[in-house]
Amino acid sequence: MSIVEAVDPRSGRVAGSYPAARVEDVDAALAAAVEAAASPAMRDDARRAAALRAAAGGLRARGGDVVAVAGGETGLPEARLRGELERTAVQLELLADHVAAGEHHDAIVDRADPDWRPLPRPDLRRRRVPIGPVAVFGASNFPLAFSTGGGDTGAALAAGCPAIVKGHPSHPGTGTLVAEVLAAAVEEAGLPAGAFAHLLAAELDVAEALVDHPATAAVAFTGSFRAGTALIARANARPTPIPVFAEMGSLNPVVVTHAALAARGDAIAEALAGAVGTFGGQLCTKPGLVFAPAGSTLAADLAAALGARREVLLNANVHRGYGAGVEALAAAEGVERLTPAAASGGDGGANGDGAAGGDAVRDAGFAVAPAVFRTRASALAATPALGEECFGPAVVVLEYEAGDDLHAALGALGGQLAAALYAEPAEHPALAPLVERLTELAGRVIFDGVPTGVSVTLAMHHGGPWPATSAPAHTSVGATAVDRFLRPVVYQDAPDALLPPALQDANPLNLLRRVDGERTREPVVR
Amino acid sequence: MSIVEAVDPRSGRVAGSYPAARVEDVDAALAAAVEAAASPAMRDDARRAAALRAAAGGLRARGGDVVAVAGGETGLPEARLRGELERTAVQLELLADHVAAGEHHDAIVDRADPDWRPLPRPDLRRRRVPIGPVAVFGASNFPLAFSTGGGDTGAALAAGCPAIVKGHPSHPGTGTLVAEVLAAAVEEAGLPAGAFAHLLAAELDVAEALVDHPATAAVAFTGSFRAGTALIARANARPTPIPVFAEMGSLNPVVVTHAALAARGDAIAEALAGAVGTFGGQLCTKPGLVFAPAGSTLAADLAAALGARREVLLNANVHRGYGAGVEALAAAEGVERLTPAAASGGDGGANGDGAAGGDAVRDAGFAVAPAVFRTRASALAATPALGEECFGPAVVVLEYEAGDDLHAALGALGGQLAAALYAEPAEHPALAPLVERLTELAGRVIFDGVPTGVSVTLAMHHGGPWPATSAPAHTSVGATAVDRFLRPVVYQDAPDALLPPALQDANPLNLLRRVDGERTREPVVR
């Protein structure tokens, strides 16, 4: 039997081994998922909400175990993992509340109208239905919030779609524990067992079979651009193409004005250094580019704050990728490295990953040093390395002159998850065009704060134009993450008895519906 | 200069000639569109609503000319074109109302909350922004409602996206006239001229350049599966892939029960014959498959009602495709043709289209006879020709035995725009599983009516699972067609002065917003 080995990134040593799923398991999981999707229990909003709440409670109840195992597999500190576990539970509960309130139905009733133009209108009633089983590919950097029991799994279940998780091989023990919690929650709430499955795999065959399976209706993915685009190509090549909701990373540019630096440069440098270095800079919202006025000390301040740190990266792949990214930046024309070269790379340590790069420092496990670079903002358009995400604790400070066209520099960037602006109130009236530019660029625009930290709320949008995501109209965080897994169906002149409860005259679910254009919970009178 | 020739399908003769756009015109149109998209006027909801209303008024004012030209280019009867023109105007007005009411913003405000878990929540305010210039590819079968000034163009403009229409070469004069109306409406409302462009072309190069252009943000398409999938492949192959909202046709199955036939067989046959034959059966919602009880006379009744008709098809391509489709059905094993073979095909007449098929009947222009086929419902899964849309006045009656598994037969079909069910009230309690099956299959489920006729309302959903469309979550008809061209952006801790009006504290647009989860028009108190 094939196994997946957990590696403790702090030591590079094997921390556990877990049985791997086989391609046949994909067929079994999808067969169970299809059965589950068709069951009345799965269409019961209250039951699905109960399952999500039970999962949140289960995560909290087993929090100690989960955090301990996750720490050994990711190298992330206990406090961070405790926070991430609570955030994961909150996300599941937010989705439960959203579904219990019936928001996901988006119920619309247009009553028959003999005076409608150009022809009389029939009775039309629309609500949304689940699209079917969702294949979930979690990320290594959020072993809880964006993995087995994370937002994608929660959103799929909230929508009424079975979630088939391809368990991430970077934290197999964590995934296995969380999968137990999810399976127990599904059972406790009376959902069919096929509503959730966890297929742990390190090889590509299971992932490919999952995307190819005819019953898979959508893919939710968080990870690298390379892996995301490979999944998208595969999903598009199916006889029946399916959507891939891929979040593929971002540079999350931060613009700092001269006045903001003058007023509170130390606080800004401290916040940015924290956002770049904390948790090894392994956040999809880590600021990778900072636009600062030429002549400011921000780049030097960041180098000073970060230069002496050591951060443990998640796994050999991330470690190797960071080394390569740092090398590429260091080699780029006109780019100056402000942190010591010898400490900025890393190598596989106990894993003996000799390909880690010339800057490798001998260290146990996957520890690396942060890297701070500096160049001119005008170099951005002509320097491809500056436009690539360097996943890990690296940042490039792009210095701009008073006369430089910041808009033009920003125009060289692809789509971003987030962009931030530090400015003083007196400058605000002049900054509307820059805010407009950041709006075009990103899914979230932050004022006087760093892009890291994604609050789980109704308004949150964690998404953005390509290549940050493959589906800029959608978010993977917050209550509206459920929208990805629903499609509308309209019933024309349906007898009340054959309408789904969401659309019946009496409004038995007590939904806030749009009836003839007005929002109301009142029954419909034909 | 290259030209596009209009052909009168009633005679096969050239009815006019129009200058064709060149590839350079694509660059110019997109450059103007990018400028338009960035203009404050384009962000002004009232102004865009005014442009849509002016376009509706302009269409009505020039209705006589438009209908006359369209009749000569499509062979569609005047009454149909007058109705389609009014429906197109209604669609533009519905979109105007939707935008004027601010529904498209989907404004959500989550105020800062120090008690939020696991961390204090910042102030988060989200609304939707236009995605950018939309390339619109209209259909030949709705020269007004799904073409130059149709629902896709209207929805793009409603969203704040410039619409660049690739004018359909099957009705170049109609497109040119409608484009004049649109351009005048855009000017009258004070929108930048780049908000709308009409690029008439018969060659592929203009279409390809339009999809490839870096400034094109999305494609809206109505037409054949072959053309739609070619556009999708091209859009996916761009350095920055863009969404293609393609409606690609459908079989629109209709299920008729024994009891319904017994109670009102004549009326059902008449309604179905009308839906199959009227306007040459050239509707995306034409019922192509009818499930009827074995032993019923429905197939024979349809053949009797349709056998003597002659219908003029839109153009040489449609005429050729119909001939090929009819031939494929006639050649399929176990499929019986109930209408005379010699009258079911057609040829190019004056166009000398010798490839029209062995069943060609000598006739002027693109006239053909309807074709009615009959086979067993159980044959569907094993007979590929039955699962292909035959665009034109053809229908296949699939006869089922009392013991047959209708669900299994329906399971052999791909996604559909619409599905219909004729049944008696006494049967309703037993039909819930069948309605569930039709819900999985289609975007619209009709009771006791034909699928043709798509009312333009808020609740309407004109869409469906692949291959009916490439984006099952979206509709191309009705007010929510605007959703395709918007993406959310959330502002975090933004000063009021830098927020868009839709999200400002005072709610200057008087939007119905969700504030801390509750719908309200009240100002926000920080």
**pLDDT for the residue B117:** 86
Provide CB contacts within 8 A for B198, sequence distance 6+: B148, B165, B167, B175, B176, B178, B179, B182, B183
Identify whether the C-beta of residue B156 lies closer than 8 Å to the C-beta of residue B186.
Answer: no
**pLDDT for the residue B364:** 67
Cα separation of A83 and B486, whole Å?
Answer: 33
Q: Which alpha helices (DSSP H) does B256-386 contain, by range? A: 258-277, 298-306, 316-331
Provide CB contacts within 8 A for B166, sequence distance 6+: B135, B136, B137, B138, B199, B201, B206, B207, B210
Kindly state the DSSP code that residue B20 receives in the 8-state scheme. Answer: P
The vertex-A484 CA angle with B217 and B474, nearest 5°, equals: 55
Distance from CA of B94 to the nearest CA of A (A): 11
Cα separation of A319 and A333, whole Å?
Answer: 24
Cα separation of A147 and A170, whole Å?
Answer: 11
Distance from CA of A349 to the nearest CA of B (A): 35
Is A376 a residue whose pLDDT tops 80? yes
Cα separation of B330 and B337, whole Å?
Answer: 6
Three-state SS letters, A62-100:
CHHHHHHHHHHHHCCCHHHHHHHHHHHHHHHHHHHHHHH
Residue pLDDT, tens place only, A17-76: 999 999 999 999 999 999 999 999 999 999 999 999 999 999 999 999 999 999 999 999
Is A353 a residue whose pLDDT tops 50? no
B131, B473, B494 ranked by CB distance to A486: nearest:
B473
Pick the catalytic residue from B247, B311, B327, B389: B247
Cα separation of A395 and A286, whole Å?
Answer: 9
> Region A426-437: what's the mean pLDDT?
95
Gyration radius of chain B's alpha carbons: 25
**pLDDT for the residue A348:** 38
Residue pLDDT, tens place only, B158-169: 999 999 999 999
Task: Answer yes or no: do A489 and B455 touch at CB < 8 A.
Answer: no
**pLDDT for the residue B357:** 38
**pLDDT for the residue B341:** 82
Chain position carrying tokens 């369209």: B70
Q: Closest-CA residue in chain B for A109?
A: B459
Is A495 a residue whose pLDDT tops 60? yes
Residues of chain B with pLDDT under 50: 343-362
A465, A483, A489 ranked by CB distance to B461: nearest:
A489
**pLDDT for the residue A342:** 58
Per CB-CB distance under 8 Å, the chain B contacts of A90 are 117-118
Provide the whole-model pTM: 0.96
Chain position carrying tokens 């309604």: B271
List, by residue number, the catalytic residues of A: 247, 284
Could you tell me what percent of chain B has a pLDDT over 70?
95
Q: Report how far apart, in Å, the C-alpha atoms of B332 and of each of B204, B329, B379 are.
A: 33, 5, 10
Cα separation of B476 and B221, whole Å?
Answer: 9
Burial A441-475 (b: 16+ CB within 10 A, else e): bbbbbbbbbbbbbbbbbbbbbbbbbbbbbbbbbbb
Quote the ipTM score: 0.96
Q: Closest-CA residue in chain B for A237?
A: B233
Q: Report how far apart, in Å, the C-alpha atoms of A459 and of each of A56, B108, B110, B451 are.
A: 21, 5, 6, 38
Mean pLDDT rounded to a whole number for chain A: 94
Gyration radius of chain A's alpha carbons: 25
Task: Answer yes or no: do B428 and A497 touch at CB < 8 A.
Answer: yes
How many Cβ pairs within 8 Å bridge chains A and B?
200
Residues paired with A422 in a beta bridge: A256
Helix pair angle (B151-159, B45-61), 10° resolution = 160
Cα separation of A320 and A356, whole Å?
Answer: 5
Per-residue confidence band for A408, with pLDDT thresholds at 50, 70 and 90: confident
Q: What number of helices (H) and strands (E) belong to chain B? A: 13, 21
Distance from CA of A111 to the nearest CA of B (A): 10
- Taking residue B262's Cβ as centre, other Cβ atoms within 10 Å add up to 11
Burial B291-327 (b: 16+ CB within 10 A, else e): bbbeebebbebbbebbbebebbbbbbbbbbbbbbbbb
**pLDDT for the residue A364:** 67
> Region A340-363: what's the mean pLDDT?
45
Q: Which of B67, B94, B104, B126 to mutate to test the interface with A (most CBs of A within 10 A)?
A: B126
**pLDDT for the residue A439:** 98
Asked which of A295-309, A470-484, B343-357, B501-515 is least confident by mean pLDDT, the reply is: B343-357
Identify whether the C-beta of residue B258 lies closer than 8 Å to the C-beta of residue B296.
Answer: yes
Is A238 a residue whose pLDDT tops 70? yes
Task: State the Cα torsion B51-B56-B57-B59 to the nearest 10°.
Answer: 120
**pLDDT for the residue B354:** 37
Task: Answer yes or no: do A443 and B414 touch at CB < 8 A.
Answer: no
Q: Which alpha helices (DSSP H) does B38-171 contain, by range? A: 45-61, 63-74, 78-100, 151-159
Task: Answer yes or no: do B119 and A457 touch at CB < 8 A.
Answer: no
Task: Answer yes or no: do A457 and B110 touch at CB < 8 A.
Answer: yes
Q: Which alpha helices (DSSP H) does B390-516 contain, by range? A: 406-411, 432-441
Distance from CA of A50 to the nearest CA of B (A): 20
Per CB-CB distance under 8 Å, the chain B contacts of A493 are 446-449
Chain position carrying tokens 């590929």: B384
